[in-house]
A and B are shown apart, each in its own frame.
Chain A
């Protein structure tokens, strides 16, 4: 049991994001963990190994020689019906790349914690969203935690979502490297009984069974490949209502509200930021100060990144005059960075839509300060006032 202050059926504790994820994995009674160490994710797997070693968790920790093997082991384990977890960052995820697509197409529930870290070169260990963005098309559901509490809560929900028969897709829970992975915050953890009730043992279908041999991952050429992909696409899109339902159920259980997007001040905002991850809190912190000065600003943050909450986002953004979309990454040669392109596409069909600016910020752990957030709001406000976009893409906090 977590050491902390008992509040009803929950306990108030201090934990880093990595510890909180590991604790959630333990409470989720995972069966198999296969991972390869990489900063800033390492502590998650270290903690899980401690739980197993102490007898607090009955799971197999598979020592592998690379991330490529780690995810391959996860797929095999998931096909046997096990509850499976892995964690990685940046280059580690890059090395998993070809297997990521296989995990999704073979409909293997796997939960991955991704402590977001910039991709090399130059070598960096701190936060960018390069890694999460680079696998956005691979058929994994992706969540972004904005604080340690969410890293914990989303991990538990991720298992339930991944294993739901209406879903059966792998899920990534993103937590900003160092900012959240190593950041210590107060959070509430559920008691084991509540987690067990929310997340009963997995009920797998089509598992590997030596008595009933089947082919998994066969060769499919132009005769059926396209139908296969169409089926996968429909399944992925159809998972949305199931995801919503599970988020709502967990919200009731925990008393903490989970939905695909979160909004602040959007009832009457004229200018807004769209953000992912730990920057959401910083953006709201600055928005509150600007509202005290009478500026009508708002913040939209995405908890669910894939499947992209297109309709919800369009609904809250269409009447805003100007929006700055914040990207903690850069997409070379694209019309904008990754989140910008998603937001622009989501708004394209709307009769009314805001003027859009893309801000690239925070690369490689560059601190996203209150001043930078304020600068982003000022750009949005000025764009709203003048009615024209001066610069379509700006870099914040670059020297």
Chain B
């Protein structure tokens, strides 16, 4: 079984890093992965996507993800772009969003598609911990809990390997754990 995740955010928010960290966490659990960024020349603020494909079997397919099992929306300003973020999502799939409260329109669309919708206020978590709206690691924590695909410890190990500075690791680990605890299922 291949599990496919599509990440949405904006350039500069670490969308690619979130997908990359998830892939590396899965590798630590003996899984096979393909993480691919989708970006042009670095354009801060432009919508960016990243893909994570995870499987217990070797992965041969090297193309983008068009029918994701899960979508994670890192940037709250993309939540109104339903066609973008819900494009091709499998009915019954998982949607994890960064929002203080989920708009009723999105809730309706999620219900129509029988999605499992999880939400976390990554803004407040990020401002408390980083003093900056850095959403990627808290949203990785939220996804980890909502999907139950990889263990929190594996994610933290991947983060430790990535952020060599102890301070950066501690802060990101704190953000991940907080979002992991705070994320809640809406439907």
Contacts and interface: CB of A to CB of B under 8 A. Distances in A.
B27 A186 contact: yes
Interface in B104-151: none
B60 interface: yes
Interface string B7-46: 0000000000000100110111011111111001100000
Contact of A184 (B31, B33, B63, B64): B33
Interface residues of A, number: 29
Interface stretch (A108-116, A211-219, A277-285, A321-329): A277-285
B62 A184 contact: no
A186 B33 contact: yes
A192 B166 CA distance: 28
Contacts of A14: 23-24, 26-28, 33, 158
Given A125-B40, A183-B36, A281 B27 contact: no
Interface string A223-264: 000000000000000000000000000000000000000000
A367 B24 contact: no
Interface in A144-187: 147, 176, 178-180, 182-186
A186 B62 contact: no
A62 to B, nearest CB: 26
Nearest to A279: B62
A182 B61 contact: no
Sort chain B's interface into a size bin.
20 to 34
B27 A183 contact: no
Interface of B: 20, 23-24, 26-28, 30-37, 40-41, 59-64, 66, 158, 161
A5 interface: yes
Contacts of B23: 14, 184
A74 to B, nearest CB: 28
Contact of A5 (B28, B33, B34, B59): B28
Contacts of B28: 4-5, 14
Contacts of B33: 14, 184-186
Contacts of B31: 186
B37 A182 contact: yes
Given A125-B40, A183-B36, A185-B34, A13 B61 contact: no
A389 to B, nearest CB: 27
A178 B37 contact: yes
A367 B41 CA distance: 17
Contacts of B41: 39, 125
A12 interface: yes
Contact of B27 (A13, A39, A179, A278): A13
Given A176-B62, A179-B62, A282-B63, 4 more contacts: A14-B27, A14-B28, A14-B33, A285-B61
A97 interface: no
Nearest to A13: B27
Contact of A186 (B32, B36, B60): B32
A184 B35 contact: yes
A186 B24 CA distance: 8
A7 to B, nearest CB: 10
A370 interface: yes
A282 B62 CA distance: 6
Contacts of B32: 185-186
Contacts of B66: 369
B63 A368 contact: yes
Contact of A281 (B26, B35, B62): B62
Contacts of B37: 178, 182
Given A125-B41, A178-B36, A179-B36, A369 B63 contact: yes
A221 interface: no
22 contacts: A14-B23, A14-B24, A14-B26, A14-B27, A14-B28, A147-B62, A176-B62, A178-B37, A179-B36, A182-B37, A183-B62, A184-B23, A184-B34, A186-B31, A279-B62, A281-B60, A284-B60, A367-B64, A368-B62, A368-B63, A369-B64, A370-B63
